[in-house]
Amino acid sequence: MDMKDKTVNEKFIRTIVKKHGTPLFVIFLNNLKERAQNFRKLLPRVMPFYAVKANPSTPILKYLAKEGFGFDVASRNEIETVLKLGGKPEKMIFANTIKTQEALKISQKNGIDLMTFDSEYELAKIAKYYPGARVLVRIKVPNVGSVVELSLKFGVEPADAVSLLIKAIKLGLKPAGVSFHVGSQCTEIANFTEALELSSIIFKDALLKKIHLEILDIGGGFPITHFDSETDQFPAMAEKISSELDRLFDTNTTVIAEPGRYLAGPVCTLITRVIGKSIRNNKHWYYLDDGVYGCLSGIVYDHCKYQFRVFRRGQTQISTLAGPTCDSFDVISFSEELPELEFGDIVYVENIGAYSIATATHFNSIPPAKTIVVS
């Protein structure tokens, strides 16, 4: 489907709903193109490796592969999918610090030799199943203010990084650099500046030990907006990151990043309809044909809040939106300002491309929303 006007408008939505029904998950490839160009423009020194976990939809992966993007993969299936869709092994990083032996064997078979680690146990596993692999030590960095604090689960203390890189050499691996992640949907630029400082110190300490590190992986976490009232923080954040990279790292250092949400989030829209209605505790409840077990799963797994839009006009009141399953957990929001809706009314959500369809389930045998691609 082609659409010269990329704006999500009532005419467009009603047209595709009439043709395809609901729920629909719409991917706007022109928007993805703009996001990809913008990332490269604002962070010119950084090579983007798209985080497949954010949204593994085929159209997104195919487009980014065609444009020469790298890929951050986290499992055997992600590796095989990206390779099938045109991704190049030399532009892939196995950035899950907990890898299965099967996935390591697949990596070796396909020449995907760059990967992260954050423990001696992982180093030993890599050395056994992928001798000679290039490894990045993932360090623990501040995640203050980030929606998902990944340092709770991942990363070694910076003070232990060089010792682990020495251990990697003893195991026959090739220390390549340092990686970090400031947390998903990061809104604090200080997280990046401190992480870059810590990484710079490790690069210098490693060099004193005759270990020449070549790669800095600054991870993901770049924020997007979900509400009209929010300000896009990425341009200012990118400017500061670029300045710090030039200050702390020489031009021979290869800098990569793992944007997922930034690229996929704003390029997708979820379209649902009201399939049920009731009044509970003097409040209107509207039941949609998608919910937290479907493409609104980001509410649970990503702690995300969305802006819900409708076409019906009139006096608004605090209302509840719920999903279609038979589980009472499947409540989308208890406090939405909405006019009174009727059966069949459309409720849609923009900026929902990340951690939505990727984490949708088939609970109650209800499949995820149908994907529609707009070029």
For 19-26, what is the mean pLDDT? 98
For 238-254, what is the mean pLDDT? 97
Provide the whole-model pTM.
0.94
For 102-129, what is the mean pLDDT? 97
Alpha helices in the chain (DSSP H): 10-20, 29-42, 58-66, 76-84, 101-110, 120-129, 161-170, 189-208, 234-248, 261-264, 298-301
CB atoms within 10 A of CB 5: 8
For 112-129, what is the mean pLDDT? 97
Q: How far apart are CA 259 and CA 71, in angstroms?
A: 9
Report whether pLDDT(266) > 80. Answer: yes
Q: What angle do CA 181, 183, 189 make, to 5 degrees?
A: 90
Catalytic residue among 186, 295, 304, 326: 326
What percentage of the chain exceeds 70 in pLDDT? 95
pLDDT band at 4 (very low <50, low <70, confident <90, very high): very low
- The segment(s) of the chain belonging to CATH 2.40.37.10 are 10-24+266-374
pLDDT band at 7 (very low <50, low <70, confident <90, very high): low
For the domain 29-265, what is the CATH superfamily, name and number?
Alanine racemase (3.20.20.10)
pLDDT in tens, 155-173: 999 999 999 999 999 999 9
pLDDT band at 177 (very low <50, low <70, confident <90, very high): very high
- The segment(s) of the chain belonging to CATH 3.20.20.10 are 29-265
326 is catalytic: yes
pLDDT band at 308 (very low <50, low <70, confident <90, very high): very high
Of the candidates 73, 40, 49, 356, the residue with the CA atom closest to the CA atom of residue 220: 49
What percentage of the chain exceeds 90 in pLDDT? 89
pLDDT band at 188 (very low <50, low <70, confident <90, very high): confident
Report whether pLDDT(180) > 80. Answer: yes
Say whether 173 sits in a helix, a strand or coil. Answer: coil
CB atoms within 10 A of CB 351: 22
Report whether pLDDT(148) > 90. Answer: no
pLDDT in tens, 75-96: 999 999 999 999 999 999 999 9
Q: How far apart are CA 106 and CA 95, in angstroms?
A: 14
Average pLDDT, rounded, for the chain: 94
Q: How far apart are CA 167 and CA 241, in angstroms?
A: 30
pLDDT of residue 186: 80
Report whether pLDDT(3) > 70. Answer: no
Residue 164 has phi, psi (to 5 degrees) of -70, -35
Token duo for residue 250: 């020489």
Report whether pLDDT(46) > 60. Answer: yes
Fold of 10-24+266-374: Lyase, Ornithine Decarboxylase; Chain A, domain 1 (2.40.37)
pLDDT of residue 2: 37
